[in-house]
């Protein structure tokens, strides 16, 4: 265990992963679950593909790019739908 935590090649990705998990749980606690869960799960795939491309991995070419565009489009539709529903409701104050 000591060797792992003193190795920066292991520690930096581990801390980045843990900060992402913390952000995920904070987001889940403060937003509507019907919106937060699909967005987080979809963006995890998009970020995985982007980081893979940055590190020089083969991500699948045009099909992967088309998948990311469709995913982002779906997330945009979810957010737009949620905002439209919220704006159409009378305030409770």
Give a yes or no: residue 51 inside a domain.
Answer: yes
Give a yes or no: residue 21 inside a domain.
Answer: yes
| H or E segment and range at residue 58 | none
pTM, two decimals, is: 0.58
Q: Which domain holds residue 78?
A: 32-84
**Predicted confidence (pLDDT) per residue in 30-84, tens digit:** 877 778 778 878 888 888 888 888 888 887 888 888 988 898 898 889 888 887 7
The answer to whether residues 20 and 40 belong to one domain is no
What total number of domains does the chain contain? 2
Q: What is the number of residues in the chain?
A: 93
89 close to 64: Cβ distance less than 8 angstroms: no
The answer to whether residues 36 and 67 belong to one domain is yes
The answer to whether residues 25 and 1 belong to one domain is yes
């Amino acid at each position: 265990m000591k060797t792992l935590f003193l190795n920066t090649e292991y520690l930096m990705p581990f801390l980045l992963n843990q900060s992402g998990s913390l952000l995920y749980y904070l987001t889940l606690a403060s937003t509507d679950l019907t919106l937060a869960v699909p967005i987080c799960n979809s963006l995890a795939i998009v970020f995985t593909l982007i980081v893979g491309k940055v590190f020089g991995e083969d991500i699948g070419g045009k099909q992967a790019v088309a998948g990311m565009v469709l995913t982002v489009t779906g997330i945009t539709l979810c957010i737009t739908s949620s905002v439209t529903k919220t704006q159409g409701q009378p305030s409770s104050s």
